[in-house]
A and B are shown apart, each in its own frame.
Chain A
């Protein structure tokens, strides 16, 4: 019996056990984005005399975070394997434009606009990923080129006139409840794909170690392509909903969307290089946080120009808390 215990203790000694402090730190950093979100929600609920939690503001909030959440779901797959995409905003602009053209045709059903917008977005993300995979151009550069190409296309298209749609015809798409359900569906599909299928698992493993993944039978190129296709679909969806909300397409449609998505991801504690610690829920929590912050600060009645500054400071604080700065080291 004694030898059994001894043996057990011996075994334990050879194993690296993180100290209590590290473990607590790790757990805190794991849930801190979530706590942060709850915290600011509570703060705004009290400081705005309940206006924040009102039904009308909730509909507003759904509208505000809708775009970013859906893009964040798509881009999670891209960031999970260590990729990125700088062209989201301009691709969104072009696909909105094409979708609007379809909607303005008399004999086309509204759904067709959706499909074609998604298709257009997928074509561009396909080009980005193909250039990256086949020609081995860093994806940052490849997507930057697509960004310029798309904004060039869009500027040319709207140089004469901005594109308008019949606002009343598609107003139904602005329904808060409809959008809420679309969100739930997109999140659910994204979540299952990401956490419960080979797609998400393989992409995370590529982010962790591409060579190892390839040696383990993961078809790396195929999955990377897939990730950009998923991103394309989400861009397409967002392009049409935002078109229905705004009613027109101009040269600035979609501008900066990629940065909003990236901010959301970082804020949620999603490791920017992907890998095993990349969780899709981080991306979603981050997107909601951004929306809540913007919404709440506006409700308080702050000047929009000050809001930018406050947001910046709060991001630094939240990110500073949530990222584990130094991991425990092991030596033998």
Chain B
């Protein structure tokens, strides 16, 4: 405790966090502030819009926000992302939980192999993953259809307007299930083993141990993985963007973030893009806050 009163520890932490804070301001804070600023403006074109000074930035208050909130395509995109998330998050976390619990069972075989194999897709770039699955979905190269064909069953087209939700969700499940499995498995390994022994002596089956002891103790890790998964879901962009060249079912504004990109670089309207960006970020903050609030007391057992 001698250091507490000294002068060095008072300045040292500030010196240590300074580089990160400076970079954070440059890479995160400044661009975010600039986005908020842009969202309040619009380009006004005078006359034919030719020549210097014919275009100027004018302050329009919350106009861009009103237009974004009443934009039909943006609303439809939000609905599509929610539908996609409703398929993706429960499937991915459900599978991750099952795999983690199975890995934690001593009597299961091929655990090392399965753990690596299931985690491997995490190392594959989303663009590459989307591209691989894209080829696997294409009716011309799809092994699923070759199988169905061999069984004289009608083929399925996952690149159809309805199938596309499953097509995109499958890519995300494939890429994310291993990561979540490892998070949950790491949490499971930190539970004292004697808890299970006690339960076993009391006659609990492995199933009962999993449901009554392991899953409740995993609650904090499940909350965090759900939160990260939902955030990642709302940010979906790369998968549909990469699949788009292969199908007509994916418009360039399929998700809200794709619309932001189109607004900014397709139509050159950075002001609308900025307003939509702020709305998306605000929605994410609100959602995370509510989710943590609702689950905190339960998940952390009042520890905080």
Chain A partners chain B: no
Contacts from B to A (Cβ < 8 Å): none
Contacts from A to B (Cβ < 8 Å): none
